[in-house]
Amino acid sequence: MTVEVQVTPEQIQAVADTVQVHKFGGSSLADAYCYRRVARIVTEYAGASDLVVVSAAGDTTNRILAIIDAQADDLGIAEVLLRQLQKYQQGLITELLNGDLQEQLLAQSSHDFARWWGWLRGDEVITHRPELLSYGELWSARLLAALLQQQGIQAAAIDARDFLIADDAPEPHIRVPVSRAGLLNRIAPHPGTRFIVTGFICSDPTGRSLILGRNGSDYSATLIGSLVDAKQVTIWKDVAGVYSADPRKVERVVSLPLLDWHEAEELARLGSPVLHPRTFQPVNRERMVIAVRSSLKVENQQTRIGQYDDTEPKGKVLTSLADVVLFRINLSDAQLVQQFEELELVPLISWNEIAQHHAYYAYHQNHLEYLERWLEQVDKTDQVVQMQGYSMIALVGNRIQETTQYSTFKTELSAQNLRRLAFSPDNNAVIAILEQKLDNRLLNRLHSQLFNYRRSLGVLVVGRGNIGSAWLALYRRLQERINEQMDVRILGILNSTRMWLDYHGLELDDWEASFDTFARPYELSQLIPELPNAGCDELVMLDLTDSAEVAQLYPSFFANGVHIISANKRAGASRESQYHEIRTIQREYEREWYYNTTVGAGLPLNYTINDLINSGDTIRSISGIFSGTMSWLFENFNEEVKFSDLVREAKQRGLTEPDPRADLTGQDIIRKLLILAREIGLTLDWQDIQVESLLPEQLRGISYEEFMQRLPELDEPMQQLYLEAQQQGKVPRLLASFAVQPDDSVEARVGIEFIPAGDMLANLIPGENIFVIYTDWYHEMPLVISGPGAGKEVTAGGVQSDLNQLLSHLSNRHKG
Ligand code: ASP
Ligand code: MG
């Protein structure tokens, strides 16, 4: 059979220069939605003259095989299955097409199915299985071409049997020159048309259908690519390329940007499901590149398989097989040894054990049937001992023997039931056969040891006031140490109106000047859903503001995968309903939330409480002086000074809230009390706390300026208070407390109490906080934590302590 090339050498060259091949498998075409996505990719990512190779839609090939089987056994079942197939195929047509195109394709489809029904009833004879199988690919090529046409794209379907000619064999032998001429004659005269070609099928010289083997469409694609001398074949999959290990078994795998032909071939040979071994056969290795790319997430990394000069020794992929069979033969049977050596199916590895006179051949379980049939044919079944229950783990990469990864691999596996460890013939893999089940934990451990993959944490700093600046200074000092566990990057610094953002990480030298230059207006609610684009493994937001708006967005941060560290008390002390929502979403999205500095600034309060609870203790009550401001005011107060003067001085020293009334009403203390109570698991809300405010009624609804003017109105009542206490030999203090009652209810209050003058609570350093904690274990004497409860250095340090805790949590979570 000959076919003359009818196009000019220039046209052929133009095809080689411009045409690329794209391949879509059945799962990419499973339903109408998938078809539309493929059509979009073909429009946007394929050139105007590219070839698109398709498999049968969804599981059509399996359905056809089931119908063929049923036709021999049970006609009733076969009819049901055929009706379902017809409904599925015609459903796709009616869903995707309209008007004339729909009518036309439905007519063709009805004609096809009329033949099928004829075949099923025995009227029309299609005895040839491959012909039935071919329909799957024919239907998908036709439908995709029509869908593109409907969208105004020039496209046409080609049945590969019209040009791809082969001689029948278990793996058909392609007649390259005729096939090449046939294809070029068909496409070269039509630049600007996207041709949709059936994968999987070809034809013998007499026109009988042949198939290229299960999952043969990848092979069709590289074959067709090589016929037109294409530079690139893109295999679109539902995964983003080739990974460092099977993502179904191993966590934290990475997609590999480049693979060498040898590495890809070795991977395929070792049974990795990425590409069929035959895919590589027809490839002109100097010219072609195979790209493996995600059709679900086109923006993701792709893997390019080609001829790369990078011959650096490096292990790239950890691959494994759960079921491996060993065949043991006697070395003295020279004929059988010879037969094994010549067998087309190459074993995973083979070796001799001279002392026992044995040779071993390891194969994947999938090939067992083929091997048993072969042994019967050569009449050697009795000479072979089959051994089950083995697994394989291999590390694939160029010149593996020279890598340090090899010794890691060897050391780790020697501790297992290792049956054999050896290199592949070309030194592109080290292969271990284990006499045990495949263990995913072992795979995970090996993977992280071999690739020493450093995970990254992106940090968003919200608030660049006192604490923000102090923390950034601290971070810069500790940067090296912080980066030991993870690759930590500051992604952005935000104040209330502007942000300076860079997903590659901010350069923090002279950051204040850079902020002034680069910061832009922003909308926090819009920024949050964008953050995952930073490409970090983990994200954390440091809320160093006192902003209710930021606190309100916590659920949105969590839902977008962001952990939170708060110095801001507002979320932790929000109304119970909002607090509940924040906690629910945090739990649902498995995010971390640390807020150690919201109570007692840097004092290790939350840490101590949690440690006690986790160790089996129960907290009964916490009381004390929770506010540095109030501590300062009262420790300096006596009958000789005016309270209003103290308030004014505290304000000047920056010790109060911007409006001191937030301190005098006890608001700030209530917040801390709520946070502590919730920390130990109590359900408490604002109205549950008895509050005795120091602020007289008449000073409440007025402006800040007026309040500051009328401050002396505080003096009279405060003076009274002081004298009243003095008469009892005591001093007044603003205390906060909550206690779990015997009936499990909670009593919580914030108010003035008279304390004996010699008591610890009456003798603090001005500004000092004190927390008195009673528990089951600390019930005769309380556990007391005291120290400065405010200040930018200690608070920044507390934020850093939270960050350290997050880092160790994240790195532990991904070990082993
Ligand atoms: N449709 C064929 C099969 O299922 C070919 C392919 O999908 O690659 O085997
Ligand atoms: Mg603290």
* Predicted confidence (pLDDT) per residue in 496-543, tens digit: 999 999 988 999 999 999 999 999 999 999 999 888 777 777 899 999
**Residue 315 near residue 400, CB atoms below 8 Å:** yes
Question: Residue 326 C-alpha to ligand 1 middle, in angstroms?
Answer: 29
Q: Determine, yes or no, domain membership for 397.
A: yes
Our answer to whether residue 672 is catalytic in this structure is yes
pLDDT band, residue 5 (cuts 50/70/90): confident
User: Which ligand is closest in space to the CA of residue 56?
Assistant: 1
My answer on whether 464 and 560 are in the same domain is: yes
Q: Determine, yes or no, domain membership for 647.
A: yes
Quick one: tokens of 600? 């007692």
Mutation probe of ligand 1 site: the residue of 54, 55, 63 with most atoms within 8 A of C-beta: 55
Question: Residue 598 C-alpha to ligand 2 middle, in angstroms?
Answer: 6
Q: What pLDDT, on a 0 to 100 scale, did the predictor assign at position 760?
A: 87
Q: Determine, yes or no, domain membership for 223.
A: yes
Mutation probe of ligand 1 site: the residue of 197, 217, 224 with most atoms within 8 A of C-beta: 217
Give residues with Cβ within 8 angstroms of 647, minimum separation 6: 633, 656, 660, 664, 711, 714
Atom of ligand 1 nearest to the CA of 25: 7
DSSP 8-state secondary structure symbol assigned to residue 151: T
Q: Determine, yes or no, domain membership for 294.
A: no
pLDDT band, residue 213 (cuts 50/70/90): confident
**Given 237, 257, 282, which residue is the final one in a domain?**
237
* pLDDT higher than 90, residue 278: no
Nearest-CA residue for ligand 1 atom 7 is 215
* pLDDT higher than 90, residue 708: yes
Chain mean pLDDT for the chain: 92
Atom of ligand 1 nearest to the CA of 26: 7
Kind of pairing between the strands at 418-423 and 730-740 = unpaired
Taking alpha carbons only, the member of 411, 332, 327 closest to residue 363 is: 327
Per-residue model confidence as pLDDT tens digits over 302-311: 899 998 866 6
Kind of pairing between the strands at 317-330 and 385-396 = antiparallel
Taking alpha carbons only, the member of 534, 463, 482, 578 closest to residue 802 is: 482
Mutation probe of ligand 1 site: the residue of 198, 214, 278, 279 with most atoms within 8 A of C-beta: 214
Q: What pLDDT, on a 0 to 100 scale, did the predictor assign at position 815?
A: 47
Q: What pLDDT, on a 0 to 100 scale, did the predictor assign at position 536?
A: 77
How many Å apart are CA 173 and CA 179, to the nearest integer? 11
Q: Determine, yes or no, domain membership for 259.
A: no
pLDDT band, residue 816 (cuts 50/70/90): very low
My answer on whether 665 and 698 are in the same domain is: yes
**Given 237, 268, 287, which residue is the final one in a domain?**
237
Query: Rounded to the nearest 5°, which phi and psi values hold at 191?
Result: -60, 145
H/E stretch holding 433 reads strand 429-434
- The enclosing domain of 804 has a CATH number of 3.40.50.720
My answer on whether 108 and 203 are in the same domain is: yes
Interaxial angle between packed helices 129-150 and 32-45, expressed in degrees from 0 to 180 and rounded to the nearest 10: 70
Per-residue model confidence as pLDDT tens digits over 109-150: 999 999 999 999 888 667 688 999 999 999 999 999 999 999
Atom of ligand 1 nearest to the CA of 59: 4
My answer on whether 532 and 609 are in the same domain is: no
* pLDDT higher than 80, residue 177: yes
Q: Determine, yes or no, domain membership for 84.
A: yes
My answer on whether 209 and 126 are in the same domain is: yes
Other Cβ atoms closer than 10 A to 511: 20
Domain that holds residue 342: 314-450
My answer on whether 686 and 570 are in the same domain is: no
Q: Determine, yes or no, domain membership for 638.
A: yes
Report the pLDDT averaged over residues 617-639: 93
Which position has the token pair 């209810």? Answer: 745
Q: What pLDDT, on a 0 to 100 scale, did the predictor assign at position 89?
A: 98
Nearest-CA residue for ligand 1 atom 2 is 215
**Residue 422 near residue 352, CB atoms below 8 Å:** no
Question: Residue 217 C-alpha to ligand 1 middle, in angstroms?
Answer: 6
Q: What pLDDT, on a 0 to 100 scale, did the predictor assign at position 310?
A: 63
> Who has greater pLDDT, 815 or 782?
782
Residue 268 CA: distances (Å) to CA of 321, 428, 500, 566: 12, 12, 47, 50
Q: What pLDDT, on a 0 to 100 scale, did the predictor assign at position 814?
A: 52
Taking alpha carbons only, the member of 569, 643, 586 closest to residue 798 is: 569
**Residue 523 near residue 442, CB atoms below 8 Å:** no
Atom of ligand 1 nearest to the CA of 214: 9
Report the pLDDT averaged over residues 568-595: 95
Q: What pLDDT, on a 0 to 100 scale, did the predictor assign at position 287?
A: 93
pLDDT band, residue 462 (cuts 50/70/90): very high
* pLDDT higher than 80, residue 813: no
Q: What pLDDT, on a 0 to 100 scale, did the predictor assign at position 453?
A: 66
Taking alpha carbons only, the member of 751, 608, 644 closest to residue 690 is: 751
Indicate the range of 110-119, 266-275, 398-407, 561-570 predicted with least confidence.
266-275
Active-site residue identified among 249, 651, 672, 792: 672
Where in 696-807 does DSSP place strands (E)? 730-740, 746-756, 768-775, 783-788
Percent of the chain scored above 70 by pLDDT? 98
pTM for the structure as a whole? 0.60
Ligand 1 pocket, residues with Cβ under 6 angstroms: 25-26, 55-56, 61, 136, 199-200, 214-217
Amino acid type, 771: F
Question: Residue 797 C-alpha to ligand 2 middle, in angstroms?
Answer: 10
Question: Residue 307 C-alpha to ligand 2 middle, in angstroms?
Answer: 58
DSSP 291-302: EEEESS-TTS--
* pLDDT higher than 70, residue 216: yes
Q: Determine, yes or no, domain membership for 403.
A: yes
My answer on whether 638 and 589 are in the same domain is: no
My answer on whether 151 and 43 are in the same domain is: yes
Nearest-CA residue for ligand 1 atom 8 is 215
My answer on whether 488 and 511 are in the same domain is: yes
**Given 237, 255, 280, which residue is the final one in a domain?**
237
Atom of ligand 1 nearest to the CA of 215: 8
Question: Residue 604 C-alpha to ligand 2 middle, in angstroms?
Answer: 5
Indicate the range of 364-378, 424-438, 457-471, 653-667 predicted with least confidence.
653-667
The C-alpha angle with vertex 26 and arms to 23 and 28, in degrees rounded to 5, equals 70
Residue 55 CA: distances (Å) to CA of 62, 130, 217: 12, 14, 6
Question: Residue 218 C-alpha to ligand 1 middle, in angstroms?
Answer: 9
Indicate the range of 14-23, 136-145, 435-444 predicted with least confidence.
435-444
My answer on whether 200 and 76 are in the same domain is: yes
Question: Residue 799 C-alpha to ligand 2 middle, in angstroms?
Answer: 9
What Rg, from alpha-carbon coordinates, does the chain have? 37
pLDDT band, residue 654 (cuts 50/70/90): confident
My answer on whether 59 and 197 are in the same domain is: yes
Residue count (the chain): 816
How many Å apart are CA 555 and CA 538, to the nearest integer? 17
My answer on whether 521 and 543 are in the same domain is: yes
User: Which ligand is closest in space to the CA of residue 789?
Assistant: 2
Interaxial angle between packed helices 75-96 and 32-45, expressed in degrees from 0 to 180 and rounded to the nearest 10: 50
User: Which ligand is closest in space to the CA of residue 569?
Assistant: 2
Residue 28 CA: distances (Å) to CA of 291, 292, 485: 16, 14, 39
User: Which ligand is closest in space to the CA of residue 160?
Assistant: 1
- The enclosing domain of 645 has a CATH number of 3.30.360.10
Report the pLDDT averaged over residues 241-268: 88
User: Which ligand is closest in space to the CA of residue 596?
Assistant: 2
- The enclosing domain of 171 has a CATH number of 3.40.1160.10
* Strands of the sheet with 538-543, listed across from one edge: 520-521, 498-501, 487-494, 456-462, 538-543, 562-566, 593-594
Atom of ligand 1 nearest to the CA of 213: 9
Q: What pLDDT, on a 0 to 100 scale, did the predictor assign at position 122?
A: 85
Which position has the token pair 């140490």? Answer: 481
**How many structural domains are present in the chain?**
4
